Chain A
Amino acid sequence: MERRSVRHRRAAPSVWEGLRYRGGMGQWAWVLHRLSGLGILLFLVLHVVDIFLAAFGPEVFNKLLFLYHSWVFRPFIVLLVFGVVYHALNGLRLVIVDFWPAANAYQKPMWIGATALSLGVTAISILAFFWEG
């Protein structure tokens, strides 16, 4: 067996290794919180761009609107509704847990409530989108 000089491996686990950890509900609540946050940021950038285009007159702006009305884009709007509501409600859960240590005992039911409410609002938004379309 050939001996080699000892190299110290990077101790920090990768994101992939982290995601493979079988954490509890809290870990997935957190992952979803991060993903919804990134999704909202992505939409905000897009939104800033479309509002910026409005400065060039209604024709240019209207040309871009086809994007939001297309069937390809619709699922993303539904996802955005879920993302915004989930991020807000789960954020409230985190604030409550942060400021009232006793609320730690209720973090799981609070997450279930936040997620159920987010899904409910998303379901209603799907109906609304179909109604309009």
Chain B
Amino acid sequence: MEVRIRIQRYNPEVDEKPHWEEYTVEVEPTDRVIDALHQIKWFQDGTLAVRRSCLHGICGSDALVINGRNRLACKTLVRDLGKVITVAPLRGFRVIKDLVVDMEPFFRKFRSVMPYLVNDERPPAHERLQSPEERARFDDTTKCILCAACTTACPSFWADSRYVGPAAIVQAHRFIFDSRDQAWRERLQILNENTGVWRCRNVFNCVEACPRDINVNKAIAEVRQALITGSRGLPLEDDEVH
């Protein structure tokens, strides 16, 4: 099938502002948007800048605004989009060129929530054991691939880029509710600042945008609940009373 792909192009070295360019490509209905972009870049216009890596929906580098909403170009089939497909870079980040945005502010926020296990106790001879129930507590938020589709779909982030954003909260949630973690109070304090969880307005764009089907809004609500109650709500936690 023949589809028309409209791409938002912008080269800061020559262009005053972004503009749209249209390409016509021959694709299979089961091809993905990234396949169509490859066709353009490889056979029609080598100047097109697009970022992708694994092409299998796990590296998180090709989140784009496709037909008006955030999706992964490697997980979106052409047949689900129609004859005209629009592709634009993620909102709220500086455009480096065409579809490639500067993700550094995003990763800075990711690092700000201490996205790693903190446990100063002497490790046991084998692994730190955890019951299936304890593991299940944060299962949903382990699925995040840091593609930024949620954060750049969030009106609170558009309005104020200081907001830590849903992706960083998801990452914090993954460790806050890990029974082995000891820095959950510090993480909660980071998210209690005025750039933290209270900026969420329950718009649910993050939930719709997530290519990994994480219930982002629920994770944010759970972090807020932990802040209000001062407890993670995990069993066998006697150190949680203020």
Hey, which bits of chain A sit against chain B, CB under 8 A? Answer: 1-4, 6-9, 11-13, 17-18, 20-27, 29-30, 94, 97-102, 104-105, 107
Q: How far is the CA of A17 from the CA of B88 in the complex (A)?
A: 12
The reply to whether A23 and B69 contact each other, CB–CB distance below 8 Å, is: yes
The reply to whether A11 and B217 contact each other, CB–CB distance below 8 Å, is: no
Known: A3-B14, A8-B12. A21 touches B91 (CB 8 A): yes
Nearest-neighbour CB distance to chain B for A31, whole angstroms, equals 9
Chain B: interface size category: 35 or more
The reply to whether A23 and B153 contact each other, CB–CB distance below 8 Å, is: yes
Q: Which of B32-40, B107-115, B127-135, B199-207 contacts A (4 or more CB under 8 A)?
A: B199-207
- Given contacts A8-B12, A9-B17, A11-B93, could you give 7 more A-B pairs where the C-beta distance is less than 8 Å? A6-B13, A26-B203, A27-B155, A27-B205, A101-B222, A101-B225, A105-B218
Q: How far is the CA of A22 from the CA of B155 in the complex (A)?
A: 12
Hey, which bits of chain B sit against chain A, CB under 8 A? Answer: 10, 12-14, 17-18, 65, 67-69, 91-95, 153, 155, 158-159, 161, 201-205, 207-208, 215, 217-218, 221-222, 224-225, 228
Cβ contact of A21, chosen from B12, B14, B153, B228, cutoff 8 A: B153
The reply to whether B205 and A1 contact each other, CB–CB distance below 8 Å, is: no
The reply to whether B204 and A8 contact each other, CB–CB distance below 8 Å, is: no
Q: How far is the CA of A45 from the CA of B99 in the complex (A)?
A: 46
Q: How far is the CA of A8 from the CA of B94 in the complex (A)?
A: 7
Interface pairs (19), CB distance under 8 Å: A12-B161, A13-B92, A13-B158, A17-B158, A18-B91, A18-B155, A21-B69, A21-B91, A21-B153, A22-B68, A22-B69, A23-B208, A26-B202, A26-B203, A29-B203, A94-B201, A100-B221, A104-B217, A105-B215
Q: How far is the CA of A27 from the CA of B68 in the complex (A)?
A: 13
B204 contacts across to A, CB distance below 8 A: 23-27, 107
Known: A7-B12, A104-B217. A21 touches B202 (CB 8 A): no
The reply to whether B221 and A97 contact each other, CB–CB distance below 8 Å, is: yes
Q: How far is the CA of A102 from the CA of B217 in the complex (A)?
A: 10
Known: A11-B92, A22-B67. A27 touches B203 (CB 8 A): yes
Known: A24-B208, A27-B155. A4 touches B14 (CB 8 A): yes
Q: How far is the CA of A33 from the CA of B12 in the complex (A)?
A: 38
Q: How far is the CA of A26 from the CA of B69 in the complex (A)?
A: 14
Nearest-neighbour CB distance to chain B for A16, whole angstroms, equals 11
Q: How far is the CA of A104 from the CA of B174 in the complex (A)?
A: 18
Cβ contact of B225, chosen from A1, A17, A26, A99, cutoff 8 A: A99
B95 contacts across to A, CB distance below 8 A: 9
